[in-house]
Amino acid sequence: MNIDNILVLVRLDEDQLKKIKSVVPQAEIVLQKPKELTREQVERADIIVGNIHSEFLPYLKNTKLLQLLSSGVSKKYLSLHQTAPDCILCSASGAYGPAISEYMLAGLLMMMQRLHLYRDDRHKGEWKPREDARLLRDAKVLSVGMGDIGTSFGRLCSLLGAQVTGIRRRKTSPPPFIERIAGIDELDLLLPQMDVVALALPETAQTLGVMNRERFEAMKDGSYFMNVGRGSAVDQEALLWALRSGKLAGALIDVMDPEPLPPEHPLWQEERLMITPHISGQYHSQETQNELIELVCKNIEALKTGGEMTARVDFESGYRE
């Protein structure tokens, strides 16, 4: 297959640009800031690398591959097969497991050892020993979403002695470090048993508001909650209640709805809540950047040769095939 024009909507360093050029030396590679994108650039592109704004999706009629840089797939892209039936859609699932799982583990250990509170005490000059630290060893961890990220997080927790259960759309045999894989229909049964509940879910019709007031109420008293998937999976008013009521000993969220979280939002004032500005994945470490470009190059090569694409998206479910 001829590939003459590649439109890249994310910054590349010199080595990353050379890596893409080595796969398609004949192609013109156009680096463009998303805010400066034009319709003409989109219409010319054989391949687009980046999460293109929805207003440009109708102009992808000549595009052979849209390579997203997110592991989850927004629903706006799932109608692409209707407007551009020959365009292959791939996510970046598989590129973020190491980075986001280490972020999750670091945040969880910080909360369990109360290190974030000691950090706050430092600014007030307070010497305030606490007696409520917890260990991850023997803790029961529920990883809701067992893609690359959730599976990587489960493995790290298991290495530190936690008992890990996973939830995914379809029950499968668990890897050696996971106690078992449950279906989403067992979520309500499992929540009261868990010391840690971690969400790594894409945004689909089934995941919107999956953690509501009722489910926070069902969680074990003094448990921990984390969300690194999509902010739309969590009712933030219910999360606020869970923190203020003492139901949760701590929570970590890297994704919110909306983003950025408005400065006047009351969640900012909760001392047991750690908020980060959607930085657990994407281009916030060199290692993750390199993983992404490696995935991009594999899919460009597969497109050229007719090989198997990595993280090709199923338009019906929104998940990777």
Average pLDDT for residues 238-259, to the nearest whole number? 97
**Tell me, what's the pLDDT at 243?**
98
- Polymer length of the chain: 321
Classify 5-95+285-305 by CATH class. Answer: alpha beta
pLDDT surpassing 80 at residue 282: no
**Tell me, what's the pLDDT at 170?**
85
Encode 278-295: b = buried (16+ Cβ within 10 Å), e = exposed. bebbbeebeebbebbbeb
pLDDT surpassing 80 at residue 281: yes
* Bridge partners, residue 8, by sequence: 31, 49
pLDDT surpassing 90 at residue 203: no
**Tell me, what's the pLDDT at 235?**
98
pLDDT surpassing 90 at residue 172: no
pLDDT surpassing 90 at residue 316: no
Decide if 5-95+285-305 and 97-275 have a common fold: yes
Among the listed residues 259, 271, 287, 321, the single catalytic one is 259
Average pLDDT for residues 134-151, to the nearest whole number? 96
Q: Which of these CATH numbers, 3.40.50.720, 1.20.120.140, 3.40.50.1820, 3.40.630.190, describes 97-275? A: 3.40.50.720
38-67 residue pLDDT tens: 999 999 999 999 999 999 999 998 999 999
**Tell me, what's the pLDDT at 1?**
79
Q: Can you give the residue ranges of every domain in the chain?
A: 5-95+285-305, 97-275
- What's the rounded Cα separation, in Å, for the pair 286 and 183? 35
**Tell me, what's the pLDDT at 254?**
97
**Tell me, what's the pLDDT at 267?**
98
* 23-37, 106-120, 154-168, 307-321, range with the lowest pLDDT: 307-321
Confirm whether 137 is a catalytic residue: no
> Is 0.85 topped by the overall pTM?
yes
- pLDDT tier for residue 158 given thresholds of 50, 70 and 90: very high
Mean pLDDT estimate for the chain = 95
Confirm whether 278 is a catalytic residue: yes
DSSP, collapsed to helix, strand or coil, labels residue 282 as coil
Closest CA to 47 of 28, 33, 70, 34: 28
**Which helix H or strand E contains 155, and what residues bound it?**
helix 148-159
∠ Cα 81 84 87 (to 5°): 80
**Tell me, what's the pLDDT at 273?**
98
DSSP, collapsed to helix, strand or coil, labels residue 133 as coil
**Tell me, what's the pLDDT at 106?**
98
pLDDT surpassing 90 at residue 246: yes
Among the listed residues 44, 81, 169, 278, the single catalytic one is 278
**Tell me, what's the pLDDT at 13?**
92
pLDDT surpassing 90 at residue 205: no
217 near 197, Cβ under 8 Å?
A: no
Encode 217-252: b = buried (16+ Cβ within 10 Å), e = exposed. ebbbeebbbbbbbbbbbbbbebbbebbeeebbbbbb
Confirm whether 259 is a catalytic residue: yes
pLDDT surpassing 90 at residue 196: yes
pLDDT surpassing 90 at residue 202: no
- pLDDT tier for residue 285 given thresholds of 50, 70 and 90: confident
Among the listed residues 155, 230, 272, 320, the single catalytic one is 230
pLDDT surpassing 90 at residue 7: yes
**Tell me, what's the pLDDT at 171?**
86
Q: For the chain, give the percent of residues with pLDDT over 70.
A: 100
Closest CA to 320 of 132, 78, 136, 107: 78
Instruction: Name, in order, each residue with C-beta under 8 angstroms of 202's C-beta and a sequence gap of 6 or more.
Output: 71, 72, 73, 145, 147, 229, 230, 318, 319
Residue 109 CB neighbours (<10 A): 14
Distance from the first to the final alpha carbon of the chain:
22
